[in-house]
Every structure is written in C-alpha cells, then in structure tokens.
C-alpha cells in the first residue's frame, strides 16, 4: 500500500491522516516499517509525558486539566491512552475519550486509545510508533496515559521524558504497587484529590518511601543500564485537585524544572540513546523471530537437526546455536 498521501496530509497537520496512520502501524508491522521510515526525519520535537496511577485515581480528569493549561499556552497536544490489560478497548477508556473529545477542539488536541489487540511486535512498539506519528503531526506535548502501575508501564514509558504518577489519599496499597513497579522511573509524584482528607499523610508516606530509596539507589545498576534514568534527579512530590485545577501552577513548574534538568544535565541524550537501543531490540526480536520461524519450518538442514534431536543426539540448545550460525549471527 502507498502511504505517501496520508503522510503528506499528516505533515500538514491533518488529524484524520494521523488517526489512519496510527491504525496502520497498530495493525501491521510492515506498514509501521514503511511509515516510520518516511516520517522519522520529521520527529524529535515533541515532549513526552507519561502519566499513570491506579484506576480511579483521576488520571483522565488530571490529563484534561493539564491539557487545558497547555492549550491555553498555545500548545498542540496528543493524548494516547494505553490499556495493556484489556484485550479490547475498555468501556471506561472509551468513555474517557468521548468526554475528553467533547472538551477540546480537534485542531489542538488529538486523542487516541490503544489496547493490546495482540498486535504484532507488541503494544510498546505500537505506542512508540503512534508517538512518532503524533510528533510528526506537530504535537508539542504528547501525554501517554496508562492504566495501572505495573511492569508494563515501564516498557511503555521508555520513551517518556517525564513520568508522573498519581496517588490518592487513603488507599495504602498504591505505594506498595509503585515500589514493585515503577518507583525507579517516576519523576514526579502527584497526590490527586487534595480536597479529600489524608492528603498530607499520603505526601509523608511518599517522602518516606523515597528516603528508603536513597539508601539503595546506587545499587540498582541493572536498572540504570537499561533506562539510564540517572538518579541525579530527586523525585518531586506535589498535591493537586484535578477537578478545580488547584496547584496546577506548581505542577506545571515541576514538569518544566524536570525538562530543564534533563536538557542541562545532558541526561536527555542518554534517554535518546537508550530509547533507540530498546526500540531496535524490540524490532529485531520481531524480525528475527519471523526469520527463525520460517527457517525452522522450511529448511532441509534443520529437518536433519530435528531428526537428530528426536534420536537424542542433538539437544535444543545446541540446535539453537547451529541456527544462530546458519543466520550468520555467531560472534
């Protein structure tokens, strides 16, 4: 298929073209390959914000308020809602999307939800590509909302420059969930619903959790290598009311500070390197798996190996090494 028409329209800022192109990359790896190849040079201008928190913490309300503030500053916003848990776009997500769409003009705010429909190459890959499309489309800020706080967010947030986690007063388990999942990649903790009792207690709990983190952060070398979220940034904590917009001035300031920190410290170039590495790994996983599957099902030599394996004279590990050789990938 020829995508060049859609791509020209995308670069002119046509929202329908953006929507169509996202659908193409979501459903088809080969389409993604072609589309990203054509638009890549037009990307790199958007700032990417990752927002997560347990269901009901107010993410959608928070994002609406944040988006309003940015639109008032004249910015063009892309919002991608990702739900890794749902095989189909969940009702709640859809409802959010409709509500948000009613609040904003299509010219300033582009909203899209993505769920794991078993896309080839995975949800994280499709999200990365959607981000690139919205970047080329001209979004200044791309907000990624994910549902829940877990390991899947870590994958999805690989490309987020600033990660914001929402908590609410009351619930005690959210802190545990963050510790188990995304504490290491969170830049700003937000206690939402500050109008409810227990807000300051929650802020204190987060402070305590971060104290604890200080004592072992330099030991988590693996993590650093993977994401290079170098721990020179001390995560910020703030409380807000997403319904009234209270404290959003402060929040916007913190996001801005974090952005400046990334740029001035040079950490941002580390992010880019790591993002490119991890994206390439995901793409290679897909491509190599395809190649290997094809080979395993059709190659005569491999037939012979399989015969040997049946007779127990060749084990699967050794067979894998032989295949790596056949692919010319041995060191």
- Binding region for Mg ion (CB under 5 A): 59-60, 96
**Binding of ligand GDP at residue 98 (CB under 6 A)?**
no
226 binds, among ligand GDP, Mg ion, none (CB under 5 to 8 A by kind): none
CB of 71 to ligand GDP, least distance (A): 18
Q: Considering beta carbons, is residue 60 or 159 the nearer one to Mg ion? A: 60
Q: Exactly one of 6, 24, 49, 53 binds ligand GDP (CB under 6 A); which one?
A: 53
Shortest Å distance, C-beta 57 to Mg ion: 9
Judged by beta carbon, residue 85 or residue 231, the one nearer Mg ion is 85
Q: Return the DSSP state at 315.
A: -
Q: Of the candidates 8, 12, 40, 55, which one interacts with ligand GDP according to CB under 6 A?
A: 55
First to last CA, the chain: 37
**In this structure, what DSSP letter does residue 171 have?**
-
Q: 86, 114 in Cβ contact below 8 A?
A: no
Q: In this structure, are residues 115 and 51 in contact, taking their beta carbons and an 8 Å threshold?
A: no
Q: Which stretch binds ligand GDP (CB under 6 A): 53-61, 121-129, 214-222, 282-290?
A: 53-61
Q: Residue 85 half-sphere exposure, CB side, CA atoms within 13 Å?
A: 13
CB of 67 to ligand GDP, least distance (A): 12
Of these, 196, 281, 320, 327, which contacts ligand GDP (CB under 6 A)? 196
Asked if 101 contacts 76 with a C-beta cutoff of 8 angstroms, the reply is: no
Pseudo-torsion of CA 165, 83, 75, 187, nearest 10°?
Answer: 20
Decide: helix, strand or coil at residue 162.
Answer: strand
* Residue at token pair 């054509």: 38
Task: Return the number of the residue (44 or 95) whose C-beta is nearest Mg ion.
Answer: 95
SS3 126: helix
Q: Considering CB under 6 A, how many residues would be counted as binding ligand GDP?
A: 16
Q: How far is the CB of 213 from ligand GDP (least distance, A)?
A: 24
CA distance linking residue 187 with residue 222, whole number of Å: 19
Nearer to ligand GDP, 56 or 170 (CB): 56
Q: How far is the C-alpha of 277 from the C-alpha of 234, rounded, in Å?
A: 25
Residue 199 touches ligand GDP, criterion: CB under 6 A: no
Residues in the chain: 331
Distance CA 192, CA 134 (A): 28
- The token duo for 185 is 């990649």
**Any contact of residue 67 with ligand GDP (CB under 6 A)?**
no
Q: Which does 83 bind (CB under 5 to 8 A by kind): ligand GDP, Mg ion, none?
A: none
CB of 126 to ligand GDP, least distance (A): 21
61 binds ligand GDP (CB under 6 A): yes
Which of 6, 38, 39, 58 is in the footprint of ligand GDP by CB under 6 A? 58
Site for ligand GDP in 202-241 (CB under 6 A): 241
Are 43 and 136 a contacting pair, CB within 8 Å? yes
Distance between CA 147 and CA 163 in Å, rounded?
A: 14
Q: For residues 193 and 258, which CB has a smaller minimum distance to ligand GDP in the complex? A: 193
CA 110 to chain centre: 17
Q: Does 59 bind ligand GDP (CB under 6 A)?
A: yes
**Is residue 284 close enough to count as binding ligand GDP by CB under 6 A?**
no
In the complex, the smallest distance separating the C-beta of residue 139 from Mg ion, rounded to whole angstroms, is: 20
34-69: burial string, b at 16+ Cβ within 10 Å, e else: bbbebbeebeeebbbbbbbbbeebbbbbbbbbbbbb
Binding site for ligand GDP (CB under 6 A): 53, 55-61, 96, 192-193, 195-196, 241-243
């Amino acid at each position: 298929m020829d995508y060049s028409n859609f791509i020209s329209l995308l670069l002119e800022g046509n929202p329908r073209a953006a929507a169509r192109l996202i659908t193409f990359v979501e459903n088809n790896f080969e389409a993604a390959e072609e589309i990203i190849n054509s638009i890549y040079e037009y990307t790199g201008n958007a700032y990417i914000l990752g927002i997560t928190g347990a269901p009901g913490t107010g993410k959608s309300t928070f994002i609406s308020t944040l988006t309003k503030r940015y639109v008032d500053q004249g910015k063009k916003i892309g919002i991608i809602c990702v739900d890794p848990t749902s095989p189909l776009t969940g009702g709640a997500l859809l409802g959010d999307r409709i509500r948000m769409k009613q609040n904003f003009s299509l010219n300033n705010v582009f909203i899209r939800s993505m769920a794991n429909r078993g896309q080839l190459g995975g949800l994280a890959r499709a999200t990365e590509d959607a981000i690139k499309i919205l970047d080329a489309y001209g979004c200044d800020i791309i907000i990624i909302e994910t549902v829940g706080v877990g390991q899947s967010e870590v994958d999805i947030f690989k490309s987020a420059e600033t990660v914001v986690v929402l908590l609410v007063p009351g619930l005690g388990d959210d802190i545990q969930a963050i510790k188990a999942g995304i504490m290491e990649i969170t830049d700003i903790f937000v206690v939402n619903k500050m109008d409810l009792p227990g807000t300051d207690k929650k802020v204190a709990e987060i402070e305590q959790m971060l104290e604890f983190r200080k004592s072992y952060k330099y030991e988590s070398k693996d993590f650093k290598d993977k994401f290079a979220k170098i721990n020179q940034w001390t995560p910020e904590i703030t409380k807000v009311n997403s319904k009234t917009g209270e404290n959003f001035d402060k929040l916007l300031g913190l996001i801005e500070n974090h952005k400046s920190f990334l740029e001035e410290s040079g950490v941002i170039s580390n992010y880019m390197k790591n993002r490119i590495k991890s994206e390439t790994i995901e793409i290679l996983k897909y491509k190599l798996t395809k190649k290997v599957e094809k080979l395993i099902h059709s190659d005569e030599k491999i037939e012979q190996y399989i015969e040997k394996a049946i007779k127990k004279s060749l084990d699967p590990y050794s067979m894998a090494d032989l295949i790596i050789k056949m692919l010319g990938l041995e060191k």
